[in-house]
Amino acid sequence: MTFNHPIFLTRVFIMLWCVFVSAAALADIPTQVIQGSSVKLEQFQMGYFVDKTEEMPFSEVQNQAFQLSANGVSLGTTSKVTWAKIEIENTNTTPTKVYLHHPYAYHNHKVELYEVVNGALTRERVLDMDRKETQQWMYRGSAVFDISLEPNQHKTLFVKSQSFSHQWFTLNLYSEDQSKRALLGLYTDIALMVGMLLALIIYNFLLFFSSRLREHFFYACYLVAGGFWVALSYGLLADLFDVYGSITLKWHLSLVAMPIFLLLFMINIFETKKKYPIEHWALLSILTLLIVDFVYGLFDMITALNYSSSLAAIMMIVSVSVTISMVIRKHPIAPFFLLGHGLFAIFSTMAVLFYKGKAEFTYINSHGVGIGIMLEALVLSLIIAYRIRSLETMKAAQDELKLLASTDSLTQLFNRRHFNAEAEYLLHQAKQRQQPAAIAMFDIDHFKKINDTNGHSFGDKVIVQVANTLKAQCREQDLLARYGGEEFIIFMPNTQVNDAFILIERMREILEKKAIEMSSEKTVHITISAGIAATDIDKPNLKNSLNQADKALYRAKENGRNQSQVYKI
C-alpha cells in the first residue's frame, strides 16, 4: 500500500484541526467570579444551545452540549429557541445578590431563567411578553432577574430566549448599583437618534406642504417609517410605553415600508419614469416585491420578516446600482445620494448579516440600520438643500422673465399687456368691494415735433422724464404703465373721479414746470394732456373705460392741450 504523502498529511491535518475546533467550541464554560460589592460583567464567555425542536424540556436541555461563545450572540432565523448557560461563583464570605440583564428582551416572545446548584433546580422564572402577570421582571424594555448567591456558592444559570423570528440577545451581570446605572442610560442614544429624525420629518413635511413636491412627502414618510422602526427595534417604545410581545409584531412592517418610501423618493428625485426607463423598471421591480411582502406581512408577519432581510439586501444592491448609473449619467443630485445611500447600504448590510447570524454581536452591527438611516438622512438633507436652492434659482429666473415680459425696457414701467391683465383684476376687486375706481390717459403734447427737432435720443429722454415724474406722484395702490409711444395710463383703485382729477392735475402742473436739459445752453419745456374716466362698478368693462378716457384725452387736445378733462356722457 502506497501513500501520497502531501495529500495524506493534509487530510490528517484537517481532521485534527476540526477535532481541535470542536473541542475548543465545546470546552467547559468559564466560571464568572463574583468578588466584592461592585459587579459589572458585560464581556464574558458563556455557552449556547439551539433547540431545533423548540419543545425540549429543561431536564433534557441540562444534558446538552453547549457551544462556547461571547455573552452576546446573533443566530439568525433558524434558532428561535436558544438556551444560554452561564457559570457564576460567589467568592465573597457574605451573601451576594447580582442582577442578570437581558437588554433586548422586548423583542422576544419569552425569556425564562433557571438556577441550578449542584445539578438541582433551585428556582425558575418564566417571563411571557404576552402575559401581564409575568412581566414583573420587565423594566424599561429589559428583563432584569435578581439572583441570590450564598457565600462561596456556585450556580449555573440557564436562560431560554424564545424569539418571534430573528434570534439575537446579550446577557450582562451587575451588582445592584451597577444595575441601576445600566438601566438609567439604556436608551439615551436611541432617543437622540429618534429626536434628530423627528426634526427632519417635521422639516420635510413642512417643505411638502409649502412646495407640494412629492419627493418631500415620500422622504418624510421614509423617515417616519425608519424612525418608528428604530424606536421599536432598539427598545425606545418599550422603554416609554411598556409595549412588547405579539402586540408589536406587525409594527415591524415599518421595516418593509421604509425601503418602499425610499424607492418612491428615488423615482421622483431622479425622474426615472420620464428620463431613465431601464433604471425605472429596476426600481419598480424591487418596489413591487416589497409591497407584496408588506401585504403578506398583514396576514403572516413571521414569514414576512424572514424574507425582509433578504429583500433588503436585494433592494440595496438595486438602489446603489441605479444611483451609480445616475452618477455616470452626470445627474447633479446623484453624487450626494450615492454618498448618503452608500453609507446606509454599508451599515444596513452589516445589520442584515448580523440579523442572519453571519456577523458577531457588536453595537455597530446590531444598530447598523439605525446608524445607516441617520447618516443617510443627514447627507440627503444636502439634496433637499440643493433642490430648494435650485427651485429658488428657477423661480428667480422665472420671476425675472415674467418681469421682463411685463415691463417696458425704456421706462421700466409696466407695459400695455401687463396693464390690461392687472386692470381687469383690479376692476373685478372693485366690483366685489363696491369701491369706486378711475382711469387716466396721458399724452405728451407735440411729441412728434420734439422728436423731429431734437432727435430720437432726446425724445427717449423726455419719455423717461415723464415716466419718472408720474411714478413719483402715483400712490402705492395706483397702477401706472406706458401704454404706447408717448402715451401713459394710470388705474386708480378706490378713487372717486373728482379725486382722480386733482391727482392728475398735480402731475400735469409739476411736468409743466420742469425743464429738460438738451445741452448746457439749451433746455426744453414739455406739457401733457390727460383724459379721466370713472369706471362702472356695477358693470365693469375695461374696454369701455379706456374708450371713455381716450375720448376725454381727445377733448383736452382739442381744447388747446396742457390740460385735464373728465369724461362726461
Contacts 24+ apart (CB under 8 A), 353-357: 354/74, 354/168, 355/74, 355/76, 355/166, 355/168, 355/309, 356/76, 356/77, 356/166, 356/309, 357/74, 357/75, 357/76, 357/77, 357/78, 357/79, 357/167, 357/168
In order of 78, 107, 171, 353, the CA distances from 168 in angstroms are 11, 9, 10, 12
- Alpha-carbon span 518 to 465, nearest angstrom: 12
Known active-site residue 54: no
Residues 6+ apart with CB under 8 A from 64: 49, 56, 83
- C-beta separation of 501 from 564 below 8 A: yes
Which residue, chain included where needed, has cell 402731475? Answer: 507
Residues 6+ apart with CB under 8 A from 440: 489, 490, 492, 500, 504, 530, 531, 532, 533, 549, 564
In sequence order, the β-bridge partners of residue 535 are none
**Single-letter code of the amino acid located at 359:** A
Is 504 exposed, middle or buried (CB count within 10 Å of its CB: 0-12, 13-18, 19+)? Answer: buried
Q: How many whole angstroms from its chain centre is CA 3? A: 68
- Alpha-carbon span 88 to 54, nearest angstrom: 26
Candidates 192, 296, 297; CA nearest to 234 is: 192
- Alpha-carbon span 547 to 5, nearest angstrom: 116
Grid cell, residue 119, equals 445539578
Question: What is residue 151's three-state secondary structure?
Answer: coil
Q: With the C-alpha atoms ordered 171, 176, 177, 180, is the resulting torsion angle positive or negative?
A: positive
- Alpha-carbon span 536 to 435, nearest angstrom: 10
Give me the sheet containing 138-139, strands edge to edge: 40-41, 172-174, 96-102, 142-149, 138-139
Q: How many residues does the chain have?
A: 569
Greatest pairwise CA separation for the chain in angstroms: 139
**Single-letter code of the amino acid located at 385:** A
- C-beta separation of 469 from 411 below 8 A: no
- C-beta separation of 423 from 479 below 8 A: yes
Active-site hit among 215, 376, 486, 505 = 486
Give me the DSSP letters along 402-465.
Answer: HHHHHB-TTT-SB-HHHHHHHHHHHHHHHHHHT--EEEEEEEETTHHHHHHHH-HHHHHHHHHH
Q: At what angle do helices 188-211 and 368-406 cross, to 10 degrees?
A: 20
* Catalytic sites, residue numbers: 486
